[in-house]
């Protein structure tokens, strides 16, 4: 039992025709812990949705609270206007961990982690829920930051739409095996191996016109120069869940 799951939440998502992996079953996982770990390690998701039969794939920033995913944007955006009415969506978060060079073309690959989540997007239009979500989109990434900020104006709140989706089904896929050549190809005089890939944080650059004496808060030091972004995001999520 994963202690992070809310009481009454099953460990595993239902497996249906929608989320069942059609191939490479050994890479697929349907448990919430695996799915959450991939979602929480990223801030960029891609949302697939349909308008008049046409699929769209929009990148946006997501955050997770329990079994809900949230994203937000301009009230005028095509995606959010469409999803306000309650739309089927598929939200995917992916991380590339290594390029994999094998001894034949067929076995070239990549190590990766991805989570594909299905549900119905809904506009968060209750004013209290929306205000909470607009705090959380900041505080989930930057612990306690909204308490330090200039408060949002009514106009800013009105100009922003927040959409939420309960994750109905999900599938995680994880490949970590590096080079997976056929046994009979091992020993061929061909260089094979991996190029690891990581997304890292650079040196923070302060904005102009910050008054002397206003330092970066301690809570932002989780985004230390050189650190892996996925590690920082997981730490920020742990802060958020501990509140």
* Interactions with its own copies, residue window 151-180 (CB under 8 A): 151-153, 156, 159-160, 178-179
Distance CA 236, CA 242 (A): 10
Q: Judged by CB under 8 A, does residue 236 bind its own copies? A: no
The structure tokens listed for 75 are 């009230």
Q: Judged by CB under 8 A, does residue 22 bind its own copies? A: yes
**Smallest separation (angstroms) from its own copies to the CB of 2:** 25
Is 62 in contact with 233 (CB distance < 8 Å)? no
State which of residues 6, 53, 85, 127 lies at the interface with its own copies (CB under 8 A): 53
Interface pattern 98-117 for its own copies (x via CB under 8 A): -x-xxxxxx-x-x-x-x-x-
Q: Judged by CB under 8 A, does residue 188 bind its own copies? A: yes
**Stretch of 5-13, 26-34, 63-71, 193-201 contacting its own copies, by CB under 8 A:** 193-201
Compare residues 2 and 129 and give the one whose CB is closer to its own copies.
129
* Interactions with its own copies, residue window 194-233 (CB under 8 A): 194-211, 213-217, 220, 223, 229
State which of residues 33, 185, 231, 235 lies at the interface with its own copies (CB under 8 A): 185
Collect all residues with Cβ–Cβ distance below 8 Å to 145 and sequence separation of at least 6: 138, 139, 217, 219, 220
Q: Judged by CB under 8 A, does residue 129 bind its own copies? A: no
Q: Which residue's entry shows tokens 């705090």?
A: 135
**Smallest separation (angstroms) from its own copies to the CB of 201:** 5
**Smallest separation (angstroms) from its own copies to the CB of 6:** 26
**Stretch of 3-11, 28-36, 57-65, 122-130 contacting its own copies, by CB under 8 A:** 57-65
Distance CA 138, CA 116 (A): 24
The structure tokens listed for 97 are 């961990």
DSSP H or E segment with residue 26 = none
Distance CA 50, CA 48 (A): 7
Number of Cβ within a 10 Å radius of residue 34: 21
Is 176 in contact with 29 (CB distance < 8 Å)? no
Distance CA 180, CA 170 (A): 27
Number of residues that bind its own copies (CB under 8 A): 98
Q: Judged by CB under 8 A, does residue 63 bind its own copies? A: no
């Amino acid at each position: 039992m994963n202690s992070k799951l809310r009481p009454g939440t099953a460990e595993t998502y239902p497996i249906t025709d929608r989320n069942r992996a059609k191939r490479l079953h050994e890479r697929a996982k349907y448990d919430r812990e695996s799915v959450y770990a991939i979602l929480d390690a990223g801030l960029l998701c891609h949302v697939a949705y349909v308008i008049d039969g046409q699929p769209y794939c929009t990148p946006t920033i997501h955050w997770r609270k329990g079994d809900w995913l949230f994203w937000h944007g301009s009230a005028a955006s095509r995606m959010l206007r469409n999803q306000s009415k309650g739309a089927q969506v598929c939200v995917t978060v992916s991380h590339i961990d290594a390029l994999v060079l094998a001894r034949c073309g067929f076995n070239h690959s990549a190590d990766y982690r991805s989570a594909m989540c299905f549900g119905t997007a809904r506009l968060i239009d209750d004013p209290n829920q929306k205000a909470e979500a607009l705090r959380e989109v900041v505080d989930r990434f930057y612990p306690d930051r909204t308490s330090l900020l200039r408060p949002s104006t009514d106009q800013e709140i009105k100009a922003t739409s927040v959409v939420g989706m309960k994750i109905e089904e999900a599938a995680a896929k994880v490949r970590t095996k590096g080079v997976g050549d056929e046994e009979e190809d091992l020993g061929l005089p061909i260089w094979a191996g991996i190029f690891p890939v990581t997304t890292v944080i650079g040196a923070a650059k302060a904005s102009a016109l910050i008054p002397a004496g206003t330092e970066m808060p301690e809570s932002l030091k989780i985004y230390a120069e050189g650190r892996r972004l996925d590690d920082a995001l997981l730490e920020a999520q742990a802060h958020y869940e501990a509140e």
